[in-house]
C-alpha cells in the first residue's frame, strides 16, 4: 500500500498542521474493493483509517489519503435512482431557477442520471467525472462527460467549448476530493460571474448527532460543516449565499456560493446555520471526542447483537452492500460467519465479496428468496423506503436491524416471529 496511500500532514483547507485525533479504525480494506469470489486471503488493499479535526479551520478529515486513481479509476458506486434521491434531484432542478439553454456543469457526475434531469428541463449539460467506466455510461445516454478530474484546465476547456456555466454542481463528491483548491479553480474557470456554485455534502452535524460512524471510509476524506466550507470558498473569492438541508446520505446540506461581486443576497438560512454550529461547540474539541466515545459503544453493540443472533442459529444477511456497509462490518468485527450474504441492486457488485468481511453479494430477489431471519440494514439511509417496500418480508416474520445511531430491531406488529 506504500505507493497508493500517504499521510497528509497539512489540512487540505487551511494548510495548518495542528490536529485533534478523533477515531481510529486501524488498517482497513478500501471499502469499494469488492472482490471476486476466488480472491486469495489478503487480496484486499488496506490503508489506515484515522479521523482527526483541524484546530485551524475545524475540518474533520482522514489523516491518510489514498491515491484517487486506486479508488475511482474503476468505480462501482453508481448514482442511486431511488425515489428519495430522484425527488431530491427534481427539487434541486426546480429550485435552481435556471432558464432553458443555460449551461449546467456537474463535477463527479457519475452516470449522468442527475444531469439528465436538467437536460429534460431544457438546460445544456456537461459532466466531469474521473471514473472512466461511469463517464462511458453517461456518454452512452447522451450526457457529454469528460472522463478526468475537475481542474482549472478542464473548466477552461469546457468554457471555451460551451461558454460559461449558470450553475456548477458538485453532488456528494466534494468530500472525496483531496485537492479541493484545484476543484475550486476549476469552478472559477467555468462559472459565469452571475452564476452559482452548488455543493452538496453529507453534513458533519448530522454525522455527529446520529453517530454515522460507518460513513467514514477512505473515499470520504473530508466531513464538512458550513463554517469550514465558508472558509474554503472565501479563499477562492466565493461567498456563501444560501444553504438548504436535504434528507439524503444520512442528512446533507446543499451550499450555494456566488462570486464575491455577484448581486445575490445572502439568505437568512446561512447565518442561522452558522449560529447553530457555534452553539453546538464545533469550534471546540467536545463534540468530536463525545462522538468518538459513542462510536466505540456502537461498534461493540452492533457486533455483539449480530454475533449473538448468529450463535443462536439465526440467519442474518445484509440489506444493501454500500461502501459504508464495508466500514460497518469491518468496524464491528463481522464476517461471512455472522452475516451470510448481502443483497445489492448494483449488478457490478453482485457475485463479488465485501472487502475484509468477505460477505458475498447477491441480487435482491435471490436474497429475499433465501428468507434470512434478519436483514442488517447496511443501507440505513434508505430505511423508511426499504422497510415500506419489504412489508411482505416483515409480515412473514422477517426482521430488520437498523444499526445506526443505535441498533434497533424492526418487525411487523402483526407478524408471528421467532423471538
Contact footprint for Zn ion (CB under 5 A): 11, 13-14, 54, 56-57, 59
Residue among 60 and 143 whose Cβ is closer to Zn ion: 60
Q: What is the DSSP secondary structure assignment for residue 35, as one 8-state letter? A: B
Cβ of residue 24: shortest distance to Zn ion, in angstroms?
19
Q: Which residues pair with 64 in a beta bridge?
A: 7
Least Å distance between CB 293 and Zn ion? Answer: 24
**Whole-number minimum distance, CB 228 to Zn ion, in Å?**
7
Can you tell me which residue has the cell 455527529? 208
Q: Which is nearer to Zn ion, 9 or 365 (CB)?
A: 9
Q: Report how far residue 165's alpha carbon sits from residue 249's, in angstroms, rounded to the nearest whole number.
A: 27
Q: Which is nearer to Zn ion, 19 or 72 (CB)?
A: 19
- Spatial distance between the Cα atoms of 201 and 251, rounded to a whole number of angstroms: 9
Nearer Cβ to Zn ion, position 56 or 364?
Answer: 56
Q: How far is the CB of 374 from Zn ion (least distance, A)?
A: 42
CB of 179 to Zn ion, least distance (A): 14
- Give the sheet arrangement for strand 399-402, strand by strand: 361-362, 342-343, 316-319, 374-377, 399-402, 408-411
Q: Nearer Cβ to Zn ion, position 78 or 226? A: 226
To Zn ion, the closest distance from the beta carbon of 54 in angstroms equals: 3
Element (H, E) at 128: strand 124-128
281 φ/ψ angles, rounded to the nearest 5 degrees: 80, 25
Q: What are phi and psi of 121, to 5 degrees?
A: -85, 0
Task: Render 222-272 in DSSP notation, one character per residue.
Answer: EEB-HHHHHHHHHTTTEEEEEEEEESSTTSEEEEEEEETT--PPPPHHHHH
Kindly tell me which of 57 and 207 has the beta carbon lying closer to Zn ion: 57
Amino acid at each position: 500500500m506504500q505507493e497508493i496511500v500517504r499521510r497528509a500532514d497539512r489540512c487540505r483547507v487551511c494548510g495548518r498542521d495542528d490536529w485533534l485525533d478523533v477515531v481510529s479504525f486501524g488498517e482497513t480494506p478500501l471499502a469499494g474493493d469488492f472482490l471476486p469470489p476466488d480472491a486469495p486471503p489478503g487480496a484486499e488493499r488496506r490503508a489506515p483509517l484515522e479521523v482527526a479535526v483541524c484546530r485551524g479551520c475545524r475540518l474533520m478529515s482522514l489523516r491518510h489519503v489514498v491515491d484517487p486513481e486506486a479508488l475511482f479509476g474503476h468505480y462501482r458506486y453508481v448514482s442511486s435512482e431511488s425515489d428519495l434521491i430522484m425527488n431530491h434531484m427534481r427539487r434541486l432542478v426546480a429550485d435552481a431557477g435556471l432558464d432553458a439553454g443555460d449551461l449546467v456543469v456537474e463535477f463527479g457526475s457519475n452516470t449522468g442520471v442527475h444531469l439528465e434531469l436538467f437536460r429534460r428541463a431544457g438546460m445544456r449539460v456537461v459532466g466531469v467525472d474521473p471514473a472512466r467506466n461511469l463517464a462511458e455510461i453517461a456518454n452512452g445516454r447522451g450526457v457529454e462527460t469528460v472522463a478526468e478530474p475537475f481542474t482549472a484546465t478542464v473548466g477552461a476547456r469546457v468554457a471555451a467549448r460551451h461558454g460559461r456555466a449558470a450553475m456548477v454542481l458538485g453532488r456528494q463528491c466534494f468530500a472525496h476530493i483531496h485537492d479541493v483548491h484545484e476543484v475550486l479553480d476549476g469552478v472559477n474557470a467555468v462559472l459565469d460571474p452571475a452564476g452559482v456554485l452548488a455543493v452538496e455534502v453529507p453534513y458533519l452535524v448530522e454525522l455527529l448527532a446520529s453517530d454515522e460512524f460507518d460513513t467514514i471510509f477512505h473515499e470520504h476524506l473530508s466531513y464538512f460543516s458550513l463554517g469550514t466550507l465558508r472558509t474554503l470558498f472565501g479563499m477562492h473569492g466565493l461567498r456563501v449565499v444560501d444553504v438548504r438541508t436535504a434528507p439524503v446520505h444520512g442528512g446533507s446540506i446543499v451550499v450555494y456560493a456566488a462570486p464575491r461581486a455577484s448581486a445575490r443576497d445572502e439568505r437568512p438560512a446561512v447565518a442561522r446555520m452558522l449560529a447553530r454550529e457555534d452553539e453546538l461547540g464545533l469550534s471546540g474539541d467536545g463534540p468530536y471526542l463525545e462522538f468518538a466515545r459513542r462510536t466505540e459503544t456502537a461498534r461493540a453493540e452492533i457486533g455483539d447483537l449480530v454475533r449473538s443472533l448468529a450463535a443462536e442459529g439465526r440467519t442474518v444477511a445484509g440489506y444493501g452492500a454500500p461502501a459504508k456497509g464495508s466500514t460497518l462490518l469491518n468496524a464491528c468485527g463481522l464476517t461471512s460467519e455472522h452475516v451470510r450474504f448481502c443483497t445489492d441492486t448494483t449488478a457490478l457488485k453482485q457475485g463479488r465479496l465485501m472487502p475484509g468481511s468477505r460477505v458475498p453479494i447477491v441480487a435482491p430477489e435471490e436474497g429475499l428468496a433465501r428468507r434470512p431471519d434478519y436483514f442488517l440494514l447496511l443501507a440505513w439511509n434508505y430505511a423508511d423506503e426499504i422497510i415500506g417496500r419489504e412489508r411482505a418480508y416483515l409480515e412473514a416474520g422477517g426482521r430488520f436491524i437498523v444499526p445506526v445511531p443505535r441498533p434497533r430491531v424492526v418487525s411487523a406488529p402483526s407478524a408471528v416471529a421467532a423471538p
